[in-house]
């Protein structure tokens, strides 16, 4: 998994702070969110453990600040996170999608929808999310990051996708895998 | 009430609410205010219909994408006696969702009333009731409300009322209504088709009155008809639907402001934001958004709410879309996410 990059667009928080960046050769490089008890790294220690051998970046929205462009290595997978409790996160994702290069949509983008265990808190309409997945030809993964079991399962799925997108799985390309996922979802 | 409408395929990018075959009510100007109250009740009931089905999570080939959402069908409007719907108004109702009742029959309502009243008396004997030191003679009345339903296939609503008369007062004194609850079904055809035989589908239960009576009546129904009750919560998505639907109703000059209450998550101190909008402004906004009178699409509701949110953001720099909508209050009715509604008017 060396050299694989996963980029999380954590688009449900209002503030984001860069905690530490160890540079390209460092172990995990993460940007963490603040002031939010559902902040990603704190709630998902398991995910961090799994990700320490890969580079994991988080950002509140796109585009990324241009100052660090020369430092940023190649990105293999972009995961847009949508919190079903927050319509704002959906709007933010939709706005950020415009800044993603077209080539990423050939299997290197996925939508991660969290909070699905709480239907009573639902502010985002399911059809809107499914449409997003169809319009951008990218798989939509549903998870509940506040539940430990779901965290592990989600992390494993993302890791597997990342392996494929980084080209570490012989015989399977990112594009073929994402078409496979979409066909399964349609059934 | 909503007339039976043929299911339409869900449209990409939005759900069209509205039947193609059912009669559409034209917004007739100069409706008598009494009929307007019935209309308000009907609109509220239709929103209950969405509630009782909930939003199925997952593929949208279920019921939600084919909601018929029509205002009163002419037939129901004629039969609806304003006096009889008056019990709905100006009361706070707590919502429960009910599983289908087994072997419930409209013909035996008097028997049910008698059995329930015996059950309540027995509970009192056991000492499980209710108000300490007050000896109340509780009378149960169970009646059917045939005009309160979503479509012809739906079950007629059932009203249960508990009234009391103190034994000290004379025989012919007025009985005081202490508790009411009613079951209704506003689901349309789809749900009724799938219900197996011997089962009666009345998925929504509305309660006004003391909790102790609610639990007694609830446990009697659970024992007798093998059903189960659960508090119904209303999600922010459905609350925004209600806000849009109720804003569209005709209101008079003295209507109260439309109020939305939001709860801000993830703060050390809980924070509630209350956003009040002048009812005429809200109606004007909704009128520019809604394209076809009598039909509401999800996109129109989204646009309406987005306009309100962006206006708030312009002034206060707060993204209301990141908060949770917990209460919607208009001149017609109000609804809280804990499953409490009130029909005003």
What are B61-85's pLDDT values in tens digits?
Answer: 222 332 333 333 333 444 556 677 7
Tell me which of B222 and B174 has the higher pLDDT. Answer: B222
Question: Which run of H or E residues covers position B35?
Answer: helix B33-53
Answer whether B305's CB lies under 8 Å from B296's CB. Answer: no
* Site of tokens 């034994």: B167
Q: Mean of the per-residue pLDDT values for chain B?
A: 75
Residues of B in contact with A136 (CB under 8 A): none
Summarised one tens digit per residue, pLDDT across range B263-300 is 987 788 888 999 999 988 999 999 999 888 888 899 99
Question: Which run of H or E residues covers position A41?
Answer: helix A40-43
Residue A156 pLDDT > 70 = yes
According to DSSP, the β-strands at B157-165 and B176-184 are antiparallel
Distance of CA B97 to the CA centre of its chain: 11
The pLDDT of residue A187: 64
Residue A16 pLDDT > 80 = no
Query: Torsions phi, psi of B338, nearest 5?
Result: -75, 5
Give the number of C-alpha atoms closer than 13 A to the C-alpha of residue B313, restricted to the C-beta side.
Answer: 12
| Cβ neighbours for B281, distance < 8 A, ≥ 6 positions apart | none
According to DSSP, the β-strands at A109-114 and A77-83 are parallel
- Asked which of A92-106, B25-39, B169-183 is least confident by mean pLDDT, the reply is B25-39
Interface of B with A (CB under 8 A): 10, 12-15, 54-55, 57-58, 60, 65, 233-237, 240, 265-266, 298, 302, 319, 321-325, 337
Q: How many CB atoms lie within 10 A of CB A133?
A: 19
Residue B225 pLDDT > 90 = yes
Q: A131 and chain B: CB distance < 8 Å anywhere?
A: yes
Residues of B in contact with A91 (CB under 8 A): 321
Confidence grade of residue A29 (pLDDT, cut at 50, 70, 90): very low
- Asked which of A28-32, B50-54, B180-184, B218-222 is least confident by mean pLDDT, the reply is A28-32
The pLDDT of residue B80: 57
Residue of A nearest to B298 (CA): A125
- Asked which of A1-10, B30-39, B90-99 is least confident by mean pLDDT, the reply is B30-39
According to DSSP, the β-strands at B199-200 and B101-102 are antiparallel
Q: A91 and chain B: CB distance < 8 Å anywhere?
A: yes
Confidence grade of residue A182 (pLDDT, cut at 50, 70, 90): confident
Q: pTM of this prediction? A: 0.74
Confidence grade of residue B340 (pLDDT, cut at 50, 70, 90): very high
Confidence grade of residue A66 (pLDDT, cut at 50, 70, 90): confident
ipTM: 0.70
As a whole number, mean pLDDT of residues B41-59 equals: 49
The pLDDT of residue B236: 94
* Record: contact A119-B236, CB cut-off 8 A: no
Answer whether B56's CB lies under 8 Å from B237's CB. Answer: no
Tell me which of A79 and B12 has the higher pLDDT. Answer: A79
Q: How many CB atoms lie within 10 A of CB A130?
A: 18
Summarised one tens digit per residue, pLDDT across range B287-333 is 999 888 888 899 999 999 999 999 999 999 999 998 999 999 998 89
Chosen for mutation from B239, B322, B324, B340 (greatest number of chain A CBs closer than 10 Å) is B322
Query: Torsions phi, psi of A20, nearest 5?
Result: -150, 150
- Asked which of A130-144, B92-106, B185-199 is least confident by mean pLDDT, the reply is B185-199
Q: How far is CA B145 from CA A112, B35, B44, B86, B182, in A?
A: 47, 17, 16, 12, 9
* Record: contact A88-B321, CB cut-off 8 A: yes
* Record: contact A122-B322, CB cut-off 8 A: no
Distance from CA of A14 to the nearest CA of B (A): 9
Retrieve residue A54's tokens.
Answer: 């890969």
According to DSSP, the β-strands at B258-264 and B324-329 are antiparallel
Confidence grade of residue B6 (pLDDT, cut at 50, 70, 90): very low
Answer whether B3's CB lies under 8 Å from B19's CB. Answer: yes
Packed helices B279-289 and B236-247: angle between N→C axes, nearest 10 degrees: 100
Max mean pLDDT among A40-44, B127-131, B238-242 falls in B238-242
**CA atoms of A1 and A63, how far apart (whole Å):** 26
Distance from CA of A54 to the nearest CA of B (A): 30
**CA atoms of B52 and A62, how far apart (whole Å):** 40
As a whole number, mean pLDDT of residues A125-134 equals: 90
What one-character DSSP code corresponds to residue A58? E
* Site of tokens 């300490």: B132
Q: How far is CA A115 from CA A86, A118, A140, B56, B326, in A?
A: 10, 6, 14, 15, 17
Answer whether B97's CB lies under 8 Å from B50's CB. Answer: no
Q: What is the 3-state secondary structure (H, E, C) of A76-143?
A: CEEEEEEECCCHHHHHHHHHHHCCCCHHHHCCCEEEEEECCCCHHHCCCCHHHHHHHHHHCCCCEEEE
**CA atoms of B221 and A164, how far apart (whole Å):** 56
Residue of A nearest to B239 (CA): A123
Summarised one tens digit per residue, pLDDT across range A134-149 is 899 888 989 888 788 8
What one-character DSSP code corresponds to residue A31? E
* Record: contact B55-A85, CB cut-off 8 A: no
Choose among A112, A115, A135: nearest CA to A123: A115
Choose among A12, A44, A43, A14: nearest CA to A124: A12
Q: A127 and chain B: CB distance < 8 Å anywhere?
A: yes
Residue of B nearest to A87 (CA): B321
The pLDDT of residue B188: 58
Distance of CA B327 to the CA centre of its chain: 14
């Amino acid at each position: 998994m060396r050299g694989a990059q996963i980029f999380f667009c954590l688009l449900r928080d209002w503030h984001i702070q860069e905690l530490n960046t160890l540079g390209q050769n460092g172990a995990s490089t993460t940007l963490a969110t603040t002031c939010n008890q559902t902040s990603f790294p704190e709630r998902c220690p398991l995910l961090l453990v799994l990700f320490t051998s890969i580079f994991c970046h988080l950002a509140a929205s796109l585009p990324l600040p241009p100052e660090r462009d020369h430092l940023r290595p190649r990105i293999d997978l972009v995961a847009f996170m949508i919190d079903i409790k927050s319509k704002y996160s959906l709007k933010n994702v939709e706005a950020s999608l415009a800044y993603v290069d077209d080539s990423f949509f050939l299997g290197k983008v996925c939508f991660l929808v969290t909070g699905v265990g709480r239907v009573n808190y639902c502010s985002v309409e399911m059809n809107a999310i499914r449409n997003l997945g169809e319009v951008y030809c990218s798989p939509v993964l549903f998870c509940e990051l506040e539940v430990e079991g779901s965290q592990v399962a989600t992390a494993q799925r993302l890791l597997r996708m990342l392996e494929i997108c980084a080209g570490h799985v012989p015989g399977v390309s990112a594009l073929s895998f994402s078409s496979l996922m979409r066909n399964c979802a349609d059934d | 009430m909503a007339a039976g409408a043929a299911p339409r395929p869900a449209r990409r990018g939005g759900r069209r609410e509205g039947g193609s075959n059912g009669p559409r009510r034209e917004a007739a100007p100069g409706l008598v205010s009494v009929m307007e109250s019935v209309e308000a009740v009907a609109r509220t009931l239709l929103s209950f219909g969405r509630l009782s089905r909930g939003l199925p999570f997952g593929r949208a080939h279920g019921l939600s994408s084919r909601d018929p959402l029509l205002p009163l069908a002419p037939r129901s409007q004629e039969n609806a006696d304003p006096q009889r719907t008056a019990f709905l108004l100006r009361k706070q109702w707590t919502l429960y969702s009910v599983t289908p009742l087994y072997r419930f029959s409209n013909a035996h309502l008097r028997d049910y009333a008698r059995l329930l009243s015996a059950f309540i008396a027995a509970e009192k004997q056991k000492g499980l009731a209710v108000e300490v030191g007050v000896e109340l003679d509780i009378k149960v009345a169970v009646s059917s409300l045939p005009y309160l339903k979503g479509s012809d296939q739906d079950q007629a609503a059932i009203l249960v009322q508990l009234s009391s008369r103190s034994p000290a007062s004379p025989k012919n004194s007025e009985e005081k209504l202490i508790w009411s609850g009613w079951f209704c079904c506003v689901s349309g055809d789809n749900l009724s088709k799938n219900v197996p035989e011997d089962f009666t589908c009345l998925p929504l239960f509305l309660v006004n009155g003391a909790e102790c009576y609610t639990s007694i009546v609830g446990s009697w129904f659970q024992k007798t008809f093998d059903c189960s009750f659960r508090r119904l919560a209303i999600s922010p998505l459905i609350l925004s639907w209600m806000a849009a639907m109720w804003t569209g109703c005709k209101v008079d000059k003295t209507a109260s402001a439309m109020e939305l209450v939001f709860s801000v998550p993830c703060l050390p101190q809980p924070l509630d934001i209350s956003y009040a909008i002048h009812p005429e402004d809200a109606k004007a906004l909704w009128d520019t958004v809604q394209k076809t009178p009598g039909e509401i699409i999800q996109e129109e509701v989204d646009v309406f709410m987005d306009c309100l949110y962006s206006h708030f953001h312009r002034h206060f720099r707060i993204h209301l879309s990141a908060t949770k909508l917990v209460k919607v209050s208009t001149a017609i009715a109000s609804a809280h996410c804990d499953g409490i509604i009130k029909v005003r008017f």
